[in-house]
Amino acid sequence: MRLNLDGKTALVTGSTQGIGAAIAAGLARAGARVAVNGRSERGVEEAAERLRGEVEGAQVVPVAADVASEEGAASVVAQLSNVDILVNNLGIFGATPPLEITDEEWRRYFEVNVLAAVRLTRAYLPAMMTRGWGRVQYIASDSAIVIPAEMIQYGMSKTALLGVSRGFAKAAAGSGVTVNAVIAGPTHTGGVEEFVYQLVDRDLPWDEAQREFMRRHRPQSLLQRLIEPEEIANMVVYLSSAQASATTGGAVRVDGGYVDSIVP
């Protein structure tokens, strides 16, 4: 299957590392012009340079701004007026005992993980609908459905994204624009490595620590390993393509069989 995104411009938020960087690389390989986003100008420039080195001929636009703020979102729109593919990847996570989650932390998770995506969708969706083509995606999580006891503030924010995605899909109905959420399962990133070591013995070698984490905290995974970021990116690239034109309003799973359900 040839996924051709030539002539399309994609914005991937939080794309200087991890899943976001893998998504940016996947979209660039398919021919899209990709805007790499992060808070630090230096970090964004370095990520853009890595992407150019990784993907021959990649068209990369560095867009430094904190999209979790109104000012940052406005800055992104000012720097990048036209977007065909919006991938709302930015997110934070961490383990906190449920009864110790403060009001401030609840608000922070909503602002970063949910409202940042809402703002950018609000900014870019109308023009996509006018043009009759566009793709909006939200990187959700298995935690949206199987709320982890150690980070319910994160689970709450990802559940909210499923509602946001379905709602905006209805707003775009009949326009040629598709809107979907991608339910990513436990994925191997630098941040997740640190999270794993919060929950298992730090003296364990990584391979053993990963297996112990999956055994104790994610035993329902059918993959029985962490997912690699490129595996999430493959789904995002497909949903960004013309071949996915009839997939909208969905919660598409790339979860390694973690969610124990036969329907999304």
Catalytic residue among 154, 197, 238, 258: 154
Positive or negative, the CA dihedral 176, 69, 38, 193 is negative
Residues 6 or more apart whose Cβ sits within 8 Å of residue 215: none
Q: What are 9's strand-pairing partners?
A: 33
Q: What's the token pair of residue 178? A: 């598709």
Distance CA 215, CA 220 (A): 9
The position carrying tokens 């929950």 is: 199
Please give the backbone phi and psi of residue 161, each rounded to the nearest 5 degrees, phi first: -65, -35
Beta bridge partners of 35: 11, 61
Q: What 3-state class would DSSP assign to 225?
A: coil
Answer yes or no: 154 catalytic: yes
Neighbours of 207 (CB within 10 A): 9
The side-by-side arrangement of strands in the sheet containing 59-64 is 59-64, 33-38, 9-12, 85-88, 134-141, 177-184, 251-254
Q: Which residues make Cβ contacts (< 8 Å) with residue 213, sequence separation at least 6?
A: 196, 199, 200
* CA 121 from centroid of its chain's CA atoms: 14
| Catalytic residue set | 154
